[in-house]
Amino acid sequence: MKAMEQSPPPSESKVLLELNGVRKYFPIKGGVLKRVQGNVKAVESISLKVFEGESLGVVGESGCGKSTLGRTILGLEELTDGKIIFNDQEIQDLKKKEKKKFVKEMQMIFQDPYASLNPRQRVGHALDEVFRMHTKLPADERRMAVVDLLKEVGLKEESYDRYPHEFSGGQRQRIGIARAIALNPQFIICDEAVSALDVSVQAQVLKLLKTLQRKYNLSYLFISHDLGVVQYFCDRVLVMYLGNAVEMGTVKDIFKHPLHPYTQALLSAIPRPSVHGRKERIRLTGDMPNPADPPSGCPFHTRCPIAQDVCVTDKPAWVEHRENHFAACHFA
């Protein structure tokens, strides 16, 4: 797959969203008194910037905290620590009412198009409800807006009166996209938005997302475990491991010159057709450690092929090795 037109270099665009040391711990309660006995460290001190009109991919194996990161940004999970700055305003401590303003600007597209729509609600009504909650439009204007939305995502007007079970997976995902763009947001989190779809449908949905991005100057946080899709769709990539950011850079840098051994291992796992025979695959042994009891030092040292003593004792710093190319490894 050839990468789509890349956005202008990040430095020229405006920062839309900034995360500063964002942490999300889930307390483990136990015993008779339900005391906190420990924490599952789902997201551990993530800092990043998302620029206007760009797609930032977030990759990592299942359980690495990428979905939790998305939900935490949106406020669906309570933040444990850190700052979330959206449009130059800190939003992590806002009250529910003040937050409503930002709800319009940040939306989410969910993974499972079969589960993300209420099976007992007509598609038109589901979209209408968004306008009902956030605008004061009269009924006929709302209906027109919904029909426009349906057309925008490539669905027919007739879809208005149908129930979700009458649609295919790809069509449902389009409905999910319509719902997400209904309020003209600036920022959309795509949580594995195409993972549940067939490859051919994936391409269509990705194309739709790209078109919408150009049209409305949207920014995406594109959470995925599919590196191929990320390479095709995103401008920059964040690689996560066990709740930690291990590497971040442009798609080109990450895919051509990965610095972190975990990224290298991930990339070597992508199946690629080649006439020269397969490249050596870096195999990681063992499982991901328990996020409730992460290893000391570098979180990756238990599985890292090049780990040394220093990795066990010291946590590597988040260093900018090249322009806009960060990595957390002692040997990068």
Nearest residue to 243 via CA among 45, 42, 57: 42
Among 53, 164, 170, 258, binds other proteins (CB under 8 A): 164
Q: How many CA atoms lie within 13 A of 86 on its CB side?
A: 21
195 binds other proteins (CB under 8 A): no
Looking at 9-17, 37-45, 164-172, 303-311, which segment touches other proteins (CB under 8 A)? 164-172
Where would I find the beta strands (DSSP E) of 224-274? 236-241, 244-250
How many residues interact with other proteins (rule CB under 8 A)? Answer: 39
In the complex with other proteins, the residue whose CB is nearer, 158 or 320, is 158
Residue 25 in tokens = 């711990």
Residue 296 identity: S
In the complex with other proteins, the residue whose CB is nearer, 141 or 287, is 141
The least CB distance from residue 97 to other proteins, in Å, is 10
Among 158, 287, 314, 320, binds other proteins (CB under 8 A): 158
Measured CA distances, 300 to 11, 64, 237, 251, 326 (Å): 30, 12, 19, 22, 16
* Calpha distance 225→243 (Å, rounded): 14
In the complex with other proteins, the residue whose CB is nearer, 110 or 262, is 110
Among 3, 115, 269, 317, binds other proteins (CB under 8 A): 115
SS3 157: helix
Among 160, 255, 318, 331, binds other proteins (CB under 8 A): 160
Residue length of the chain: 332
Q: What angle do CA 93, 49, 182 make, to 5 degrees?
A: 70
179 binds other proteins (CB under 8 A): yes
Helices (H) and strands (E) counted in the chain, each on its own, are: 10, 12
By CB under 8 A, the residues from 116 to 155 that bind other proteins are 116-121, 129-130, 133-134, 140-141, 143-144, 147
Looking at 99-107, 202-210, 261-269, 279-287, which segment touches other proteins (CB under 8 A)? 99-107
Q: Binding residues for other proteins, per CB under 8 A?
A: 74, 76, 99-100, 103-104, 107-108, 110-112, 114-121, 129-130, 133-134, 140-141, 143-144, 147, 157-158, 160-166, 176, 179
